[in-house]
Chains A and B, each alone.
Chain A
Amino acid sequence: DTGVSQDPRHKITKRGQNVTFRCDPISEHNRLYWYRQTLGQGPEFLTYFQNEAQLEKSRLLSDRFSAERPKGSFSTLEIQRTEQGDSAMYLCASSLSGENTIYFGEGSWLTVV
């Protein structure tokens, strides 16, 4: 299967620890997105890359959050000094320039205890 791949699928961490999630987009997709989804809510946009350039960041993305896409392929989302409010599913998605459909991965669940 060549869909969007996310790792790890589940992460439990203690408050204050750092966590990192990885996303591998669909091959040849040059756009990559990160969303956050909490229970009972729709996904909320966090940030977006075109190739290696981070073109847009939501105000939801506090200073503790950083995303990178160093070679324009896979991306990482790091959360520093996690808080209980960071508990959510983090969704990665990708698309191809000129096409409108965005394809999502299976998500990475984060639980901060």
Chain B
Amino acid sequence: AQSVAQPEDQVNVAEGNPLTVKCTYSVSGNPYLFWYVQYPNRGLQFLLKYITGDNLVKGSYGFEAEFNKSQTSFHLKKPSALVSDSALYFCAVRDGGNKLVFGAGTILRVKS
């Protein structure tokens, strides 16, 4: 079965510093990988996806993610964090059908 793991429950970073939120995956075949963000009491907002092609994927709000096949990772990154980036981040993988399987989520806290 397809799955993703987010090894960090929480990531703390100072405003202006680069941030990384980690995700590793386990799939059979080629992975379709996604990142979503969730603000308190809100739904999920799509940030970016990797389907095929360039290993560095650019998404919304200045976020990007790097697909690494040898390490089975898809880490979310941003060069300079903002306080407004503080939220809950989910990594997800598309299963063999049409649905997404989500990780447990990582809380990102950006301090000014």
Q: Nearest chain-A residue to B101 (Cβ)?
A: A45
Q: Provide the bound-state CA to CA distance between A113 and B94, in Å.
A: 35
- A22 interface contact, C-beta 8 A: no
Complex Cα distance, B45 from A109, in Å, reads 17
The residues of B that contact A40 with a CB separation of less than 8 Å are 104-105
CB contacts (< 8 Å) of B101 on chain A: these are: 45
Q: How many of chain A's residues touch chain B, expressed as a range? A: 20 to 34
A104 touches B104 (CB 8 A): no
By the criterion CB–CB under 8 Å, are B97 and A104 in contact? no
The answer to whether A107 touches B43 (Cβ under 8 A) is yes
Partner of A105, one of B34, B43, B99, B102: B43
Nearest Cβ on chain A to B47's Cβ, whole angstroms: 10
Q: How far is the CB of B67 from chain A (nearest CB, A)?
A: 14
Determine if A41 and B43 form an interchain contact, defined as CB atoms under 8 angstroms apart.
no
CB of B90 within 8 A of chain A?
yes
A42–B103 touching, CB < 8 Å = yes
Tell me the total A-B contact number using a CB cutoff of 8 A. 57
- Is residue A48 contacting chain B, with contact meaning CB distance below 8 A? yes
Distance in Å from the Cβ of B82 to the closest Cβ of chain A?
22
Q: For chain B residues 40-61, which have a beta carbon within 8 Å of chain A?
A: 41-46, 49, 51
Residue from A50, A102, A109 having most chain B Cβ neighbours under 10 A: A102
Q: Are A42 and B90 in contact (CB under 8 A)?
A: yes
B46 touching A101 by the CB < 8 A rule? yes
B103 contact set on A, CB distance < 8 A:
42
| B residues at A contact (CB < 8 Å) | 32, 34, 36, 41-46, 49, 51, 90, 92, 94, 97-105
Query: Which residues of A are in contact with B by a Cβ distance under 8 Å?
Result: 4, 6, 31, 33, 40-45, 48, 50, 55-56, 91, 93, 95, 100-107, 109
**17 more A-B contacts (CB under 8 A) besides A45-B100, A56-B99, A100-B51?**
A41-B105, A42-B92, A42-B102, A42-B105, A43-B90, A44-B102, A48-B98, A48-B99, A50-B98, A56-B97, A95-B98, A101-B46, A102-B34, A104-B36, A104-B46, A107-B42, A109-B41
